[in-house]
Amino acid sequence: MSTALIILAAGKGTRMNSDLPKVLHRVGGAPMLAHALRAGATLNPERTVVVAGHGADAVRQAVASHDAQAAIVVQKAQLGTAHAVAQAAPALEGFGGDVIVLYGDTPFISAETLKRMQAARLGHDIVVLGFHAADPGGYGRLVMEGDTLRKIVEFKDADAPTRAITFCNSGVIAADAGKLFELIALVGNENASGEYYLTDIVALARARGLTATAIACDEAETLGVNSRADLAAAEVAFQRRARAEALENGVTMLAPETVWFSHDTRIGSDAVIEPYVVFAPRVTVESGAHVRAFSHLEGCHVGRDAIVGPYARLRPGSTLADRARVGNFVEIKNSEIRTGAKINHLSYIGDAEIGVASNIGGGTITCNYDGVMKHETTIGARAFIGSDTMLVAPVRVGEDAMTGSGSVITQDVPDGALALGRAQQVNKPGMARKLFETLRFKKARRDKKREAGKG
């Protein structure tokens, strides 16, 4: 059975108080909409249609970067969820399979739950995803009779006994595409909100001899975001899950509650992650690597048995090969650190290639920016860069080469050469003692004057 997804994402999200469309607010570093797309993608949909409205251009861009195949349709006025789904009809022209409707602001629906909905579709024309709400509040109520779903009643339109029902509508619905659009055409807006309710298709279907059911999922999966507080709660839920998964996969974390993951963080087994490490998007860490406390990683790769931090910053485009070491207060950007190379203290390495088993002394800086353009630094294998070397790029230091501490390297260093780029040292015998004497005498005279001034 082929599947199409319709993701509703036109709502404004007034309570977010934001210029950004609600579905583009991020959870685990990815827009909520991307989470919905990813959950849906597990069904291998033949087509995906995102219904955008508020901030449609921004939504279009975000969709393009997460799912290039997805179509976007624009719902100009938000007249209700049935009206929103109807906007997708032209984009599904000629599609004969099942449609699953998801919300762009509900990021946690699991693949397993969507598969269960597909399975339930074998026995029913419409399958609705419900949940048993701890606090049913304003959710639509699912009126069941055995395993038959009789109707869905929106809270605003519900009488007291219906409001007492705690089995609620998540918003996710599965149905045959043709039947879905036929039913939607019959939906009116004579209700408390004056909106076209998608939920009305259940009663309409049953009146036409079709069947409907609801299956339940965990309430945590249906968590929707309507406010910044909800967004923060969604982030907490996401982090809790990501930490649990990492532990499950064999990652050691001493204080998992302090480690922050992104939606796409990948960490191999037997890696050790110390407290207060932040994984921004696009990070992979291989088995056996050790990321020490207070490090921030983004868009980078950490090889096997590499050691990072404490207090390291790995920026996008950085690759650490196996057994590389990046120590405290070191920033690496867009650089390749080859096997066993060490950059252990207080350095900035940008747009560079650091050769196998090289040692970069503390305080070394690649001067990669001339104020207008970025330039590259290449360091050969087994090179030794003395502490506090300024590598003025573009520049190349050869294999087995050395630079003296405090050097400013502006020219390439041949393989095996020692480069010294600093002023010659001059020693003046006895001069320090003389200087000390003069200075102490001056200080005593000054102190005396001040003392006299006070009296």
C-alpha dihedral (373, 378, 383, 386), degrees to nearest 10: 0
Catalytic residue among 132, 296, 301, 345: 345
Q: Which is nearer to ligand UD1, 184 or 409 (CB)?
A: 184
Q: Which is nearer to ligand UD1, 52 or 397 (CB)?
A: 52
Instruction: Label residue 428 exposed, middle or buried (CB < 10 Å: 0-12, 13-18, 19+).
Output: exposed
Evaluated on CA atoms 233, 235, 241, 247, the torsion sign reads: negative
Q: Which residues bind ligand UD1 (CB under 6 A)?
A: 8-11, 51, 53, 75, 78-81, 83-84, 103-105, 139-140, 152, 154, 168-171, 197-199, 224
Cα 24 to Cα 414: distance, rounded to the nearest angstrom: 51
Helix/strand/coil for 95: coil
Give the angle 32-35-41 at the CA atoms, nearest 5°. Answer: 145
Q: Which is nearer to ligand UD1, 94 or 194 (CB)?
A: 194
Which residues, in sequence order, are bridge partners of residue 424?
none
Q: Which is nearer to ligand UD1, 32 or 409 (CB)?
A: 32
Cα 438 to Cα 442: distance, rounded to the nearest angstrom: 6
Cα 237 to Cα 252: distance, rounded to the nearest angstrom: 20
Helix/strand/coil for 10: coil
Residue 301 bears catalytic tag: no
Tokens of 370: 């001339």
DSSP symbol at 54:
T
Query: Radius of gyration of the chain from Cα atoms?
Result: 31
Q: Which is nearer to ligand UD1, 84 or 285 (CB)?
A: 84
Cβ distance 247 to 256 under 8 Å?
Answer: yes
Q: Which is nearer to ligand UD1, 200 or 353 (CB)?
A: 200
CB atoms within 10 A of CB 122: 8
Least gap, CB of 84 to ligand UD1 (angstroms): 3
User: Could you identify the residue written with the tokens 């009809």?
Assistant: 89
Q: Which is nearer to ligand UD1, 62 or 393 (CB)?
A: 62
Q: Which is nearer to ligand UD1, 129 or 253 (CB)?
A: 129
Cβ distance 380 to 397 under 8 Å?
Answer: yes
Cα 391 to Cα 377: distance, rounded to the nearest angstrom: 7
Tokens of 282: 């696009």
Alpha helices, DSSP H, located in 46-169: 56-66, 81-86, 111-121, 160-163
Which residues, in sequence order, are bridge partners of residue 265?
none
Cα 411 to Cα 401: distance, rounded to the nearest angstrom: 13
At 244, give phi and psi (nearest 5°): -60, -40
Cα 24 to Cα 43: distance, rounded to the nearest angstrom: 23
Q: Which is nearer to ligand UD1, 9 or 300 (CB)?
A: 9
Cα 236 to Cα 42: distance, rounded to the nearest angstrom: 24
Cα 171 to Cα 423: distance, rounded to the nearest angstrom: 73
Catalogue the active-site residues.
345
